[in-house]
Amino acid sequence: MQMEQLAIHGGKPVRQQAWPRWPASSPALEEEVMQCLRSQRWTVSGFYQDQPSYEEKFARAFADFNNAAFCIPTANGTAALLCSLQALGIGPDDEVIVPGLTWVACAITVASLNAIPVMVDVDQHTLCLSPQKVEAAITERTKAIMVVHLYSAVADMGALLHISEKYNIPIIEDCAQAHGATWQGKRVGTIGAVGAFSMQQGKILTSGEGGAVVTNDQTLADKIYSIRTNARKKMNGKPSTGYMELEDAGDSFASNYCLSEISCAILFNKLQSLDQENEIRNNNRHLLRQLLGNVEGVSMTDSAPGTTSVSTYHLPLRINRSHFGNITIKALCEMLSAELGIWIHQPYIPLNKHPLYVTDDPRFAARREQLNPSRYQLPGCWEVYNTHLLLHHSMLLGNEEDINDIVNSIKKIKTIVQ
Ligand SMILES: Cc1ncc(COP(=O)(O)O)c(C=O)c1O
């Protein structure tokens, strides 16, 4: 009998059908957008049209979803982080702890405020910040800890809160990848001082581009609103129709990171299905864990103690390469992408070597050594990079057949390469 061939070498791919579409539209979503388009108000700084703005409707709904007192939508997740850092008073020469394994926005936002991103290694179970390494990195200049709930896990908030309280350093939770997850029953984003979300296209709640900050602290919320809105605030009371709902606050050096009304209308609609979609993904994730239990050399990562529910964004699979003929993770990703007809890729390149984290920008000339990312040792991040691959959450939005395809592709590759 002829040996089965890998799809990457011209064999028949395991996956023969399309994956669930992401992002997905619906008649109700299209109607919501049309209502916004007809409303003559396309931004929060557009004129009041005798009804609450979509920004207000989405902000209220997302605050309620998270059980937070306040929510301020932002142009994107990077802006959500930047506004949060600025509201916490982060400035020149302050140090902010960021994980070495995360999207570059975490370090870039810190550097853009003339502060120093201090890159800290991650835990091998959760792939999120290692609390021990965080404590070892604290100096008298540490002004914030940016905790990222990465790759479908919740970070070890028990240990991190303990450190935050011990040294009186606020936590910014980056929840770009964790909308709806809970720790000790609380939604992520409401455990630290502020929670920053991204609603970029790949995220589990999306408007293409978008973001939001949630907090329970009125002072921080007011500051973030102003920092986001060119130092304007919402006027007290109801404006007259056709007049501006914003008025000068004049209390901060502030840029414009507002989110358009059209994006807010999309988010207002998409939020209604988030819990249900999280449940589908988590059920399929559970099934995948069960089925992979029989595949030696492949395992799934854990969330931290105290996690009461996860949300699934990029789902990491840990690979013991010795069971796969010691091929590289990159090669394995390429083989799996060909079998499954969807992009499977490695985790982020750790920030100490990330090509997008450039510090030779002339604005940083005086601080080149302080910002030099290669001065950090991040062996744990590199271990993750070299031993994990990521599945996009849209692959878990379907049914059992989809999960079988994932498992059968892995088994096929393993049989051929081992
Ligand atoms: C962990 C993390 N933080 C921040 C961001 C930045 O979000 P955005 O792309 O919306 O600016 C992302 C988005 O990829 C992210 O994954």
Question: For position 251, what pLDDT does the model report?
Answer: 86
pLDDT digit string, tens, across residues 50-100: 999 999 999 999 999 999 999 999 999 999 999 999 999 999 999 999 999
Give the residue-averaged pLDDT of 114-134: 97
Closest CA to 308 of 191, 208, 166: 191
- Residue listed under structure tokens 């029989």: 294
Question: What is the Cα gyration radius of the chain?
Answer: 22
- What is the three-state SS of 177-188? CCCCCEECCEEC
Tell me what pLDDT residue 364 has.
Answer: 87
Q: Are 250 and 232 in contact (CB under 8 A)?
A: no
Q: Give the pLDDT confidence score for residue 3 in this predicted structure.
A: 74
Query: How many Cα atoms within 13 Å fall on the side-chain side of residue 61?
Result: 19
- Looking at residue 361, its pLDDT comes to 85
CA separation for the pair 198, 210 (Å, rounded)? 6
Residue nearest to atom 8 of ligand 1 (CA): 77
* Mean pLDDT (whole number) for 36-63: 96
**Which of 85-99, 165-179, 214-228, 345-359 has the lowest average pLDDT?**
345-359
| pLDDT score, position 293 | 96
Q: Domains plus CATH for the chain?
A: 7-23+275-417 (3.90.1150.10), 27-272 (3.40.640.10)
The Å distance, Cα 198 to ligand 1 centre, comes to 5
SS3 track for 39-64: CCCCCCCCECCCCCCHHHHHHHHHHH
203 is catalytic: yes
Distance CA 323, CA 346 (A): 18
Mind listing the pLDDT tens digit for each residue in 277-303? 999 999 999 999 999 999 999 999 999
For 374-402, write each residue's pLDDT tens digit: 999 999 999 999 999 999 999 999 999 99
Q: What would the DSSP string read from start to end of 224-278?
A: HHHHHBTSEEEPSSPPPTTSBSEEE---S---B-PPPHHHHHHHHHHGGGHHHHH
The atom of ligand 1 lying closest to the CA of 79 is: 11
Give the atom of ligand 1 at the shortest distance from the alpha carbon of 81: 4
pLDDT at 357: 86
β-strands 171-174, 194-198: how paired?
parallel
Mean pLDDT, the chain, integer: 97
For residue 366, give the DSSP letter. G
In tens, the pLDDT along 160-202 reads 999 999 999 999 999 999 999 999 999 999 999 999 999 999 9
pLDDT at residue 2, rounded to an integer: 62
Percent of the chain with pLDDT over 70: 100
Strand order in the sheet with 95-99: 70-74, 211-215, 194-198, 171-174, 142-148, 95-99, 116-120
Closest ligand 1 atom to the C-alpha of 150? 1
Between CA 339 and CA 413 the distance in angstroms is 9
- Which among 57, 203, 223, 270 is annotated as catalytic? 203
Q: What is the mean pLDDT of residues 145-157?
A: 98
Per-residue pLDDT at 172: 99
Comparison of pLDDT for 288 and 358, the residue scoring more:
288
What is the percentage of the chain residues whose pLDDT exceeds 90? 94
